[in-house]
Structure 1
Amino acid sequence: METRVTDNPAQSRYEIFIGVEAAPGASVAPPLRPTELAGFADYFVSGDEVAFTHTEIDPRFGGRGLGGRLTHAALDAVRERGLAVLPYCSFIRDWIAKHPEYVDLVPEDRRDAFGL
């Protein structure tokens, strides 16, 4: 499954796109876009902090690990920018808890407030 994560600053969110393929054995495929928006992670930037507020994966694409791929890419992008993360979104917060190598993105004095 081919995916792509991009930052969409105009909508303050990271977006994950999935490649769309015709069904195997389909004799006539409907016109399809090469990629389709599968989900997003909303954020708000204030100074040197990025507050993640909501993450959503389209139910049609659920159960494929796309939320984790989206979170991983978004947090890597934030790290590259040298910004801190405030995981108000429970999905982002839980993902960080399961991947302790990302806890350092959350300011040390705020980790207890997020259960990290």
Structure 2
Amino acid sequence: MEIVLKEDGAKGFAIAQKDHKRAGMMSYSKAGADIIIIDHTEVEPEYNGKGVGKQMLYKIVEMAREKNIKIIPLCPFAANMFKKIGEIKDVLKS
């Protein structure tokens, strides 16, 4: 699974691909110089339950750490993952 980050103005995307086929997408919006809001996650049906959403979230968390950005997870999936996984809470906007 390959996860690629793309930005287009104030929007950003983590796109999951396997064998050149889209497996999922997680989008975020820039809410300032040091805050992003994860607002949507979708995974293609054939990849449900295979950790695609988690991999996309980890890619965004990695980027946030590198850029010293905090995350507000409005997307229900992302919010739930932040509640479950202690090791990524360092980038959570308090």
* TM-score (normalizing by structure 2): 0.87
Structure of greater Rg: 1
Aligned counterparts of 1:101 and 1:12: Cα–Cα separation in 2: 23
Gaps of 5+ in 1: 20-34, 109-116
> When you count strand as a share of all residues, which structure comes out higher?
2
Deviation at 1:12, TM superposition (A): 2.3
Residue of structure 2 equivalent to 1:72: 58
Tell me what 1:39 maps to.
24
Give the 3-state SS of the residue equivalent to 2:17 in structure 1. Answer: strand
Q: Summarize deviations over 1:9-43 as a string: whole Å, max 9, x none.
A: 12621111112xxxxxxxxxxxxxxx211111110
Unaligned runs of 5+ in 2: none
Name which structure has the greater RCO, CA cutoff 8 Å, separation 6+.
Answer: 2
- Which 4+ runs in 1 deviate beyond 4 A? none
User: Superposed, which structure 2 residues align to 1:3-18 within 5 Å?
Assistant: 3-10=1-8, 12-18=12-18
Q: In the TM superposition, what are the counterparts of 1:1-116 in structure 2 within 5 Å?
A: 3-10=1-8, 12-19=12-19, 35-47=20-32, 48-108=34-94
Deviation at 1:107, TM superposition (A): 2.3
RMSD of aligned residue pairs (Cα, Å): 1.3
Report SS of the residue matched to 1:70.
helix
**What is the deviation of 1:94?**
0.8
In structure 2, what is the equivalent of residue 112 of structure 1? Answer: none
Give the SS at the match of 2:54.
Answer: helix
